[in-house]
Amino acid sequence: MCLNEPNNLIQRISIMTDQELGNLDLHAYLVTKASESDELYIAKKELLHDDVRKFLKSSIRRELNDIKHADETENKIFHVTDYNHEITKNDYIAKLTIDFDATLKSKINKLVQSLIQNGSDFMDLETKFQVIEVAMNSESAYFIYYRGVKKTAINKKSTKRIQTIRHGQQLVLQNDNVVEFGGKIEMFILGENIYVINPKTLEHTFDYTDHISQKRDANLNTITQMSFFDGESKVDEFVKSANKFILSRGIAQIKNITLEVLEEQFENRCEELKRIKADIPEGDEEKKAYKERYQALWPLYDHLDLVNYKVRFDINKSVTPLLHFFSDKIVESFLTKQFRDN
């Protein structure tokens, strides 16, 4: 069922009155990962004060409306697109159908089962994420916020400030850890679909990196098989550096058409880099302005043999400029005519 249909639970919550929200069932869970168990997750259900419960319901309604955007008729609706590891569209909710991935489906089932079992044998500070379950007429939606429990400052060895609260006529130490609720919606599960606003929450909650890793590995394999890599290119070291998690998504985003043009145009780009380096002005002011204009290009010279048109990866230098070069992310500003990483 489409999120925008009148009977959809998410749509119904987004337009509820305060009175209707009062009749909505809501449960909050703190969840940790059971890394050495087949259960994968351990959850404990939290008792909430009525004020906290009321706040959470209002927060979810407010944030659901915040991720709605106007359509061509200026009506605010949920804009949903299929989940795509290559891009994350602004103002769109990415829908991932659980049935298409047996491993992911199993993890979600184990997460929901952990909520039912309601374990309590872990400390608050071991919390990895929160699940807020809202239910109506036997239908549930699960909102996931990837955040833990904040350790009270008094228990931090390096603290330089302390938190106090008023107790009667005096200020006393805030000795308890803090659980924050609410905020922007990151991801929610409804029926057989996951709706993703923040891809990192999906990846961290379910260790869901396979889709990125597979595309990354395929692109790296394609690149390192191109003619500008050879036995002196330090391929293994290049791949190891490029495999770092923070860079994985960028490599997975390299499109096939970009890879095709890369090999075709590599020698031409090397010739252009040679001309840019040869044309450095002699005057101090001109040289400074020239180097600023091409500031995104200079790190490339550490990794390229421009005479023989080969990659010569320098393990002591950042791999990022080379990856930006391969993914066509070095662009010239129309306004300033400077080259920068896009």
pLDDT of the chain along its 342 residues, tens only? 699 999 999 999 999 999 999 999 999 999 999 877 788 999 999 999 999 999 999 999 999 999 999 888 888 999 998 876 545 556 789 899 998 888 899 999 999 999 998 877 788 888 899 999 999 999 999 999 998 887 765 555 566 777 788 888 888 877 777 888 999 999 999 999 999 988 888 888 998 876 677 788 889 999 999 999 999 999 999 998 887 755 666 788 788 888 888 889 899 999 999 999 999 998 899 999 999 988 889 999 999 999 999 999 999 998 888 888 888 776 444 344 454 555
CB 303 within 8 A of CB 321: yes
Q: What is the DSSP letter of 255?
A: -
* pLDDT score at 273: 92
Instruction: Specify the pLDDT at position 335.
Output: 40
Structure tokens of 33? 């990962």
Phi and psi of 210, rounded to 5°?
Answer: -60, -40
The string over 278-296, giving b where at least 16 C-beta atoms fall within 10 Å of a residue's C-beta and e elsewhere, is eeeeeeeeeeeeeeebbeb
Cβ neighbourhood burial of 91 (10 Å; 0-12, 13-18, 19+): exposed
Query: In terms of Cα–Cα distance, which of 188, 184, 2 is closest to 77?
Result: 2
Q: In whole angstroms, give the CA distance from residue 211 to residue 169.
A: 57
Please report the pLDDT score of residue 30 as a whole number. Answer: 93
At residue 339, the pLDDT reads: 47
Which phi and psi angles does 222 have, rounded to 5°?
A: -65, -45
Global pTM value: 0.66
The per-residue pLDDT for 333 is 43
In this prediction, residue 331 carries a pLDDT of: 45
Distances in whole angstroms, Cα of residue 100 to Cα of each of 3, 81, 183 = 19, 16, 30
CB 104 within 8 A of CB 208: yes
What's residue 180's pLDDT? 87
Residue type, 55: F
Q: What sign for the dihedral angle of Cα 196, 197, 203, 206? A: negative
Specify the pLDDT at position 89: 57
Do 41 and 33 contact (CB within 8 A), yes or no? yes
pLDDT at 177 (0 to 100): 78
pLDDT recorded at residue 122: 81
What single-letter DSSP state applies at residue 177? -
Task: Say how far residue 291 (Cα) sits from the centre of its chain.
Answer: 34
Q: Are 29 and 43 in contact (CB under 8 A)?
A: yes
Q: How far apart are CA 281 and CA 156, in angstroms?
A: 55
What are the backbone angles phi and psi of residue 277, rounded to the nearest 5°?
A: -70, -40
